[in-house]
Amino acid sequence: MEKTKITIVKNGPLRIEGDFNINDPEGNAYGLGGRTLLSLCRCGHSKNKPFCDGTHKAMEWLDEPVAFDLPPKKVV
């Protein structure tokens, strides 16, 4: 099975592709209807949170997502 892929869309949502589950804070799974691709809201204005409804298109973002390396994981 391929890894799940998450892409940060410039001035847009997080696009998730692959085999995944999405749970609410209590651990209850959202019914995804068999989808293997969907978008999660990053702008905070979707009426269908946590899912993207395209509202970000009306927002003025100054978002330039560029990949970078995180520092090494802290070992406790």
pLDDT of residue 1: 56
pLDDT at 75 over 80: yes
Task: Place 2 in a pLDDT band, splitting at 50, 70 and 90.
Answer: confident
Task: Place 9 in a pLDDT band, splitting at 50, 70 and 90.
Answer: very high
Identify the CA nearest to 47 among candidates 56, 35, 60.
56
* The model's pTM: 0.85
Left if phi > 0, otherwise alpha if psi is -120 to 50, otherwise beta: which for 46? beta
Q: Does domain 1-65 have CATH number 3.40.5?
A: yes
Separation between Cα atoms, residue 21 and residue 29, nearest integer Å: 7
Domain boundaries, the chain: 1-65
22-66 pLDDT, tens digit each: 999 999 999 999 999 999 999 999 999 999 999 999 988 878 899
